[in-house]
Structure 1
Amino acid sequence: MSRSTLSRRPPSLRQQRGAVLYIALIMLILLALIGLVAMQVAGMQERMAANYNAVNQAFQRVEGLVRNVECNLEDLENRLPNSCTDVLSGVSISYRCDDGHDTGVWVSGRTLASAPALNVRKIDECVVGESPIAMGVGPMGETSPIVMYQISGYDTDLPNQVGAPAPTTAAALDTVFKL
């Protein structure tokens, strides 16, 4: 190595331009933007998780309601004392096949304030067929020994109570219950 390269001095303060400062500020701004985006993503994930929880709660509530109706109907058909929560006391059971019930239309007419809601139809005479399980009316006009109900339920994630938080979502369930 030559002596001239070893004796080189750093540039004077007047010759320095502060490039490191600019690079550090740009890096700091980029890190702040990354942190801001991360906070927004975390907030969105929290809202999605809360929505999933509310939908799950609503579905569980309507499923419990429908299962209680099934239990009530089974006790009613077997002429047993009511062994489960009585949810049929304010519900009328339809025995007409041609009442034009459409569950989608029925649900679209519901609001969060109208929950819980039930629609129960006895449909064993509505189902015509000669299948091995003997559903519906047979060829000689005799009725089937199988009793079937269509149960439509609607409920929200939270109960409608004074002073309680307002429900945020609802779920509907339509099922056929066969004894």
Structure 2
Amino acid sequence: MTRSGFHGPRKQRGAALYVALIFLIILALLGITGMQVATMQERMSANYLATNVAFQRAEALAREGEAQANASARREDCGNFDPAVFGQQAAIQPAGSPETPVRVRNIDQCIGGGQLNIGEFPASEKVFQPFRITAYRGDRASEPSSDAVVDTIFIGR
């Protein structure tokens, strides 16, 4: 009995081993690349979350400033306001400090109608007052990784 397809161990060259090793290397490279992409996406989503949290906290603080403007508390005149100095002062303030990083400024006298006061109402008829509210907050109270500033114009009573 002879087998027609079998020629003995001398004719085998080991090509299956080489092909398997090449596929294994290709799969390992694909796995490493996939892990790097997933890690980068995780970092990007964490940064997006930190930025969004910081913005939401600053927005909430701006709404508190609007409540202060309506309650006639802690109003400032328009005066000289430097946003860079404000950001530096706000960044070094501890959480829960009595001087919160929000500025409520009455800007009514800053936006006058010019020398002739054309188009302005008399002082007795001014019911609403414009306020500029600037709020600064980080994403966390201690060691923030992201920060945001919200600057709004609020028309209050």
1:95 aligned onto 2:97: no
Whether 1:41 aligns to 2:37 is yes
How many residues of Structure 1 are paired with residues of Structure 2 in the alignment?
146
Describe how 1:1-179 pairs up with structure 2 within 5 A: 8-76=4-72, 93-97=75-79, 99=80, 101-103=81-83, 105-106=84-85, 109=88, 112-114=91-93, 117-129=101-113, 138-139=117-118, 142-143=122-123, 145=126, 146-160=128-142, 166-179=143-156
Does structure 1 retain, via aligned residues, the 8 Å contact 2:69–2:104?
no
Q: Which has the higher helix share?
A: 2
Cα RMSD, aligned residues only: 2.8
Q: Structure 1 residues 110, 22: closer, same or farther in 2, change over 3 A?
A: farther
Q: Check 1:126–1:60 CA distance in 2 against 1; reply closer, same or farther (3 A cut).
A: same
TM-score of the aligned structures, taking structure 2 as reference length: 0.78
Q: Percent identity?
A: 37
Secondary structure of the 1:28 match is helix
Higher relative contact order (CA 8 A, sep 6+): 2
SS at match of 1:159: coil
Question: Which residues of structure 1 form unaligned runs of 5+?
Answer: 1-6, 77-87, 131-136, 161-165
In structure 2, how many angstroms separate the alpha carbons of the residues matched to 1:125 and 1:170?
31
The residue identity in structure 2 corresponding to 1:125 is Q
C-alpha distance 10-129 of structure 1, shift in aligned 2 (>3 A)? farther
SS of aligned partner of 1:153: strand
